[in-house]
A = this chain, B = another copy of it.
Amino acid sequence: MEKVNIGVIGVGRIGRLHARNLKYQVPGARVLAVADIFEKSAREVASQLEIPIAEKDYRILLENVDIDAVVICSSTDTHAQIISEAAEAGKHIFCEKPIALDLNKIDHAITAVKKAGVKLQVGFNRRFDPSFKKAKELVKNGTIGTPHLVRITSRDPEPPPISYIKVSGGIFLDMMIHDFDMARYLLDQEVVELMAVGSCLVDPAIGEAGDIDTAIVTLKYENGAWGTIDNSRKAVYGYDQRIEVFGSEGCVMVGNLRSTEVTVNGAQDTKSNKPLYFFIERYKQAYLDEMEEFIKCIKENKEPSVGGFDGKISVQMGYAAKESLTKGNFIKLVK
């Protein structure tokens, strides 16, 4: 296989980003087609990026024998169904997170993938961020000894629209799901129980929509280490994405990225840039690197480093956090 022929399903913001990356920056890929229920969007993206095929119905892409793989960026409620169909059509699959909010649907999708023997990579982009990746390597190679504590801070610069909040599955399944995955990734360890607290401090409308906007989750890992994750839907200073792994021989920390390295020494104080605005800016490289990994796995017939199992576990953790918030105590995670 010289080039992997790709169809991108769903060309909203993140779908366009993947299409553009695959088209221009991943030499092993060829974007053959895009599909979107808003046909106009599909045509527009195809025209801009000089992609031959634009369809309203993704099934046409699945029927296209030239297409080797699909990148699923449609709305969350369609992911599981498309995964199953794509697997049956023998296509390799990259799917944005979460696979589904319904664990049964996730299981069906995973089963379909296994049966078909295709690749499935789930869009936990942060694993591909060079800084987090380096941090994980340092943990893995023993630089900080045995890990004892993990701290993850993850705060968005502003909340999504209330209409989105309502269908998002809530802060734990929509936002903290990335941090649950990061927590597992950093230590290569499963979380055995967790405890969530939180409330609505940013915007009462979020509370009225049945969600919270501020949360802290405490984790216990299978090897005895502890972790905390804190989330806020609104950090006025930008996307706050920091991690820390503390162990018997040291501590590895990842700080925020800034748009410039400019510092101004003034009569009042010393000023520097605030952190990058949001995920598109912060994880620019990670979005590219995850696509390169996906194409590489197909070409070299390797398993993606982040697959269906990871997609499922993170959703389970989200539900456990929701349950913990209601019950007020630790919730064990069943394997």
Q: Chain A: residues with CB nearer than 8 A to chain B?
A: 23-25, 27, 48, 130-131, 134-135, 138, 143-146, 148-149, 151, 153, 155, 195, 197-199, 201-202, 214, 216, 218, 220, 224-226, 228, 230, 232, 234-238, 240, 246, 248-275, 328-330
Contacts and interface: CB of A to CB of B under 8 A. Distances in A.
B148 A236 contact: no
Nearest to A129: B260
B262 A135 contact: yes
Contact of A265 (B131, B218, B274, B330): B274
B198 A195 contact: no
A241 to B, nearest CB: 10
Q: How many copies of this protein are present in the complex? A: 4
A25 B249 CA distance: 36
Contacts of A330: 328-329
Contacts of A260: 130-131, 134, 254
Contact of A148 (B25, B149, B201, B268): B201
Contacts of A329: 328-330
7 contacts: A135-B262, A151-B153, A155-B246, A198-B226, A237-B250, A267-B274, A269-B274
A217 B287 CA distance: 35
A267 B237 contact: yes
Contacts of A237: 250-251, 265-267, 270
Interface centre among A24, A145, A155, A201 (most CB of B within 10 A): A201
A212 to B, nearest CB: 11
Give me the 10 closest cross-chain CB pairs, A-B, nearest first: A24-B24, A237-B265, A131-B260, A236-B267, A250-B266, A251-B265, A255-B261, A269-B271, A148-B201, A131-B261
A137 to B, nearest CB: 9
Given A149-B230, A201-B225, A214-B226, 16 more contacts: A134-B260, A138-B264, A144-B266, A148-B214, A195-B218, A201-B224, A226-B230, A235-B246, A236-B248, A236-B266, A237-B267, A254-B262, A270-B271, A270-B273, A328-B329, A329-B329
A93 to B, nearest CB: 25
A265 B265 CA distance: 16
Contacts of A130: 259-260
Contacts of A234: 248
